[in-house]
Structure 1
């Protein structure tokens, strides 16, 4: 069988594209510490091999009578299966059954999460009231909820709070009128305090 140059490109991409998609989805569930580009490429290949092993039965059923249709079908199936595989792996790692078992056995393990920042923000399951202390001695208060965002970039830890709040004379949290949120640059942040409680309950 003769393989054309375009087929070489497509088949090569097949062993990289699924890993890239799966890695991105898994990393959105559980931020991972990657020390080098070589390690990232190896992780791409590992995820691609897992995807191939899980979905080979489906990929083998794609007919190749019409080459143009074949490539379109292959790309669609690869993207779909990569999304499913990434979500399953991400949920599994988020649940972390091995870590739970080891903790029950009183075995201390080193976390693979890059930083405490990533650990905290990736595990927030509901709204939080945040007090952000700035390096100039002032404070910013706001709500971190579904429309807020905390950076997962190792070198740039900024944060966006979807609503600005302030303390009144009695020490109660009061929503700032017409607030559209506040962005805080990483260089300005000194520390962050998290307070539990549904954000909507105080509106």
Structure 2
């Protein structure tokens, strides 16, 4: 790994590389990263950030941004990753680990580049979902639809359509609900006949369930 002077030089080169890459992507050109110096910069300062971004998008579904718009964010998140790992990195570099056990040395940096960015997202998700954090910050899940269905609970469901009709069904292990940024859609693996008072009478025969689109939905009632 580079020393302090090399890190400063790499940081300057990184800024120029990121700016050039962003301009090339905006113009529809590809980014040539296969030169050895650019490849090293890309692996160290872009890949960890992209891993964090993609894991965050999986943990907190939302709007998908273009790759060119994520490049600067990836560099920033990679820098945060190394800032959090500053003490372990310094301890490893000041030790004789590289000479004593090259495998352990490279495994540490594999962890720093590929594993740690995932752990930060997991920790951040736990913090954002905690009751203490929610007192001062909004919940990380933007839509109630995603908040409810990402819990994967089992429900008896009544879907009232825009025309006033009601569809009853069972949301269970083989059911599915879309998540952002896709439009709200729900698949109920069991479709049930409802009685005159709205009670669930029996499962419909010869049906594999029902798929309901967001444009047809007025509101949904969930019963545990």
Instruction: Give 1:9-88 correspondences, 5 Å limit.
Output: 9-31=39-61, 40-41=70-71, 43-56=73-86, 57=88, 63=98, 74=109, 78-88=113-123
Per-residue deviation, 1:83: 2.3
Specify every segment of 5 or more residues in structure 2 that has no aligned partner in the other structure, as ranges. 11-33, 100-104
**Is contact 1:29-1:94 (8 Å) kept?**
no
2-side partners of 1:15 and 1:181: how far apart? Answer: 47
Which residue does 1:149 correspond to in 2?
Answer: 176
Aligned residues: 186
* Cα shift readout 1:59-81 (whole Å, capped 9, x = no counterpart): 956859xxxxx989855652222
Specify every segment of 5 or more residues in structure 1 that has no aligned partner in the other structure, as ranges. 65-69, 103-108, 198-203
SS in 2 for 1:154: coil
Which residue does 1:165 correspond to in 2?
Answer: 192
Which residue does 2:132 correspond to in 1?
Answer: 97
1-side partners of 2:202 and 2:167: how far apart? Answer: 13
1-side partners of 2:171 and 2:217: how far apart? Answer: 15
* Cα shift readout 1:102-157 (whole Å, capped 9, x = no counterpart): 4xxxxxx65554333334334x3622222222234433323334443322233522
Which residue does 2:35 correspond to in 1?
Answer: 5
The 3 A distance-change label for structure 1 pair 96 and 168 is same
User: Rg: which structure is higher?
Assistant: 2
2-side partners of 1:72 and 1:150: how far apart? Answer: 39
Higher relative helix content: 2
